[in-house]
Structure 1
Amino acid sequence: MRIIRFVNNHSAVVLGALTDQGDIYSLPHSDFMELVNQAESTGVTALKLVENSIAGTDPIRERLDELELLVPIVAPEVWASGVTYEKSRDARNYETTNGKNDEHTCYDKVYDAERPELFLKSTAARTIGPNTPVYLRNDSNWQIPEPEVGIVITKEGRIVGYTIGNDMSCRDIEGENPLYLPQAKIWKHSCAIGPAIRLAETVEDPYDFQLTCRIFRDDQLVVEGTANTAQLKRRFEELVSFLIRDNEIFEGTVLLTGTSIVPPNEFTLKENDYIEIEISSIGVLANPVKVQVPSEKVM
């Protein structure tokens, strides 16, 4: 069972249940975390609460591809994990050493360290959903999407759902100096999540998610890569445990768990490219690529 948010024919925002058969039901809840908290307060699982809510009701007429989808959760914050896959470590090393992968860097150290790399990626106001353009940063010449499993957590750190995240990244800025990480990761429309949240209790094995990233240019497939969460260096619970250490986490926070799909080193995104990130049993997060109008320079 998946949870979505969409705009109905009356321009109202609706929380919906999306079954594995593709049927969509409106839910009597304002948002995902209200659903989760109500289930907990009544002593049932979120899945059972959803099943009880839609029992005896009819699905809406529209199909998923006919809806105006929104972010499935208005996450107060989106955090992200770095260097959780070997492929990510190798890509960071390439950026930092100008292609001399035999040199050891800070990314080798963090890959093997007890403490993972965690950083703030986005806030509710900065996060976009399906079909909304991701923006290219004007002062970077080497930009890529980073397809990632996103985990939805409570303020105590309990995992209640899984979604798809696009952690847009500037490889040249981070490669110039690791201290530039915030600028390499955070700018307008640089974080997308969606299209749905898979309820955690319906996932048999979260270390068997199959990820696929496709990038289209002029309607032609130019990049395609695959990965599986079985390749993760760290467990999801481990990442969460470090995130909540001496830290205040808000209900519905999303933690992106790192990428193992990296386009070829000679590739960079261009305006009007189209990104699709697919994760088995969750869906496809699709976003066009646009160049944002640069802000006025401060003199």
Structure 2
Amino acid sequence: MRIIRFLRDGSFPTLAAVTDESFVYVLPQSDFMELVREADERNSTPLALVLKTIADSQPIKGKLEELELLVPLEAAEVWACGVTYERSKEARNYEATGGKLDSTTFYDKVYEAKRPEIFFKSTAARTVGPNQDVYLRSDSNWQIPEPELGLVLSRDGRIVGYTAGNDMSCRDIEGENPLYLPQAKMWRGSCSIGPAIRLAETVDDPYAFRIVCRIYRSGEKVVEGTASTAQLKRKFDEMVSYLLQDNTIFDGTVLLTGTCIVPPDEFTLAEGDRIEIEIEGIGVLANPVKSQAAGSLPV
């Protein structure tokens, strides 16, 4: 069972459930975390509340593909973990050494360390949803998407859902100096999530998600990569426990869990590209790419 938000009648943000058969049912709650809180108050589960609504209503007439989707939740904060896959470690080493093959750096230590790398990625005002523009950083010449599974967390750290995320990254800025990480990761329009939230209770094995990333240029597919959360070095509970250590999080915080898909080293995003991140059971998060100088910028 997936949860989405869409513009109803072109102007009203609406929460809805999507069944595995792609039927869409409008929900009475205003947002995803209200659904979670209501389930807690009733000593029930989000799935049970959704099923009760479905039993008493009819699906909307429009098809899922025809809806104007929004971010599935307005996450007050988005955090991210890095170097959680071996492929990510290799890519960071390549950046940090100026392209020397088989070189090792402190990223090897991060990969093996007990404490994971966790960094602040975005806020609600900076995060975009499906089919909205992501933006290139103006002072970088080597930029890529980072397709990642996102954990949707309650304020007490429970994983209540899964979503897809794009952790846009500047490889040249991070490679120049690891202390530049915030600038390599966080700028206007550098984070997207969506298109839906998969209810955690409907996922049998969260380490079996298949992730696909495709990049199109002038209508032609120029990059495609696949991965699985089975390749993760760290467990989700481990990542969440360190995020919560002496820290307060908000209901609906999203924690991105790292990437295992890295485009070829000679590749960089360009204005007009289209990024598609597909996670089985969640959907396709698609975003056009624009430069900071083109069009109106996100807040």
Do Structure 1 and Structure 2 share a fold, with TM-score over 0.5?
Answer: yes
Single out whichever of 45-54 and 108-117 deviates more from structure 2.
45-54
Who is 1:225 aligned against? 225
Shift of 1:199: 0.1
Please give the alpha-carbon distance, in whole angstroms, between the structure 2 residues aligned to 1:61 and 1:274: 29
SS of structure 1 residue aligned to 2:226: strand
1:270 matched to 2:270? The reply is yes
Shift of 1:106: 1.2
Shift of 1:99: 1.5
TM-score by length of 2: 0.97
Please give the alpha-carbon distance, in whole angstroms, between the structure 1 residues aligned to 2:276 and 2:65: 14
Please give the alpha-carbon distance, in whole angstroms, between the structure 1 residues aligned to 2:168 and 2:87: 16
Q: Deviations over 1:204-243 (max 9, x none)?
A: 0000000000000010000000000000000000000000
Shift of 1:56: 2.6
Identical columns (%): 68
SS of structure 1 residue aligned to 2:207: helix
Amino acid at match of 1:145: P
- On the 8 A contact 1:218/1:273 being kept in 2, the answer is yes
Q: Deviations over 1:29-85 (max 9, x none)?
A: 010000001001101111011010121311111111111100001001000000000
Who is 1:241 aligned against? 241
Please give the alpha-carbon distance, in whole angstroms, between the structure 2 residues aligned to 1:55 and 1:13: 23
Taking the TM superposition and a 5 Å limit, the aligned residue runs for 1:25-64 are 25-64=25-64
- On the 8 A contact 1:90/1:101 being kept in 2, the answer is no
Amino acid at match of 2:81: S
Please give the alpha-carbon distance, in whole angstroms, between the structure 2 residues aligned to 1:10 and 1:249: 32
Shift of 1:94: 0.2
Q: 4+ residue stretches of structure 1 with deviation over 4 A?
A: none
Who is 1:23 aligned against? 23
Who is 1:297 aligned against? none
Taking the TM superposition and a 5 Å limit, the aligned residue runs for 1:122-201 are 122-201=122-201
Who is 2:250 aligned against? 250
Who is 2:215 aligned against? 215
Single out whichever of 98-107 and 265-274 deviates more from structure 2.
98-107
Please give the alpha-carbon distance, in whole angstroms, between the structure 2 residues aligned to 1:17 and 1:10: 18
SS of structure 2 residue aligned to 1:173: helix
SS of structure 2 residue aligned to 1:125: helix
SS of structure 2 residue aligned to 1:5: strand
Single out whichever of 95-104 and 63-72 deviates more from structure 2.
95-104
1:107 matched to 2:107? The reply is yes
Please give the alpha-carbon distance, in whole angstroms, between the structure 2 residues aligned to 1:291 and 1:196: 26
Structure 1 regions of 5+ residues with no counterpart?
295-299
Who is 2:83 aligned against? 83
Please give the alpha-carbon distance, in whole angstroms, between the structure 1 residues aligned to 2:90 and 2:76: 31
SS of structure 2 residue aligned to 1:84: coil
- On the 8 A contact 2:27/2:50 being kept in 1, the answer is yes
Shift of 1:101: 3.4
Who is 1:288 aligned against? 288
Structure 2 regions of 5+ residues with no counterpart?
295-299
Amino acid at match of 1:14: T
Matched length:
294
Pairwise CA RMSD of aligned residues? 0.8
SS of structure 2 residue aligned to 1:78: strand
Please give the alpha-carbon distance, in whole angstroms, between the structure 1 residues aligned to 2:100 and 2:15: 49
Please give the alpha-carbon distance, in whole angstroms, between the structure 2 residues aligned to 1:177 and 1:64: 44
Please give the alpha-carbon distance, in whole angstroms, between the structure 2 residues aligned to 1:255 and 1:10: 30
Single out whichever of 55-64 and 196-205 deviates more from structure 2.
55-64
Please give the alpha-carbon distance, in whole angstroms, between the structure 2 residues aligned to 1:10 and 1:82: 38
Single out whichever of 97-106 and 156-165 deviates more from structure 2.
97-106
- On the 8 A contact 2:127/2:193 being kept in 1, the answer is yes
Please give the alpha-carbon distance, in whole angstroms, between the structure 2 residues aligned to 1:8 and 1:29: 14
- On the 8 A contact 2:94/2:103 being kept in 1, the answer is no
SS of structure 2 residue aligned to 1:73: coil
Please give the alpha-carbon distance, in whole angstroms, between the structure 2 residues aligned to 1:11 and 1:54: 24
- On the 8 A contact 1:164/1:285 being kept in 2, the answer is yes
Please give the alpha-carbon distance, in whole angstroms, between the structure 2 residues aligned to 1:56 and 1:21: 18
Shift of 1:11: 1.3
Shift of 1:103: 2.8
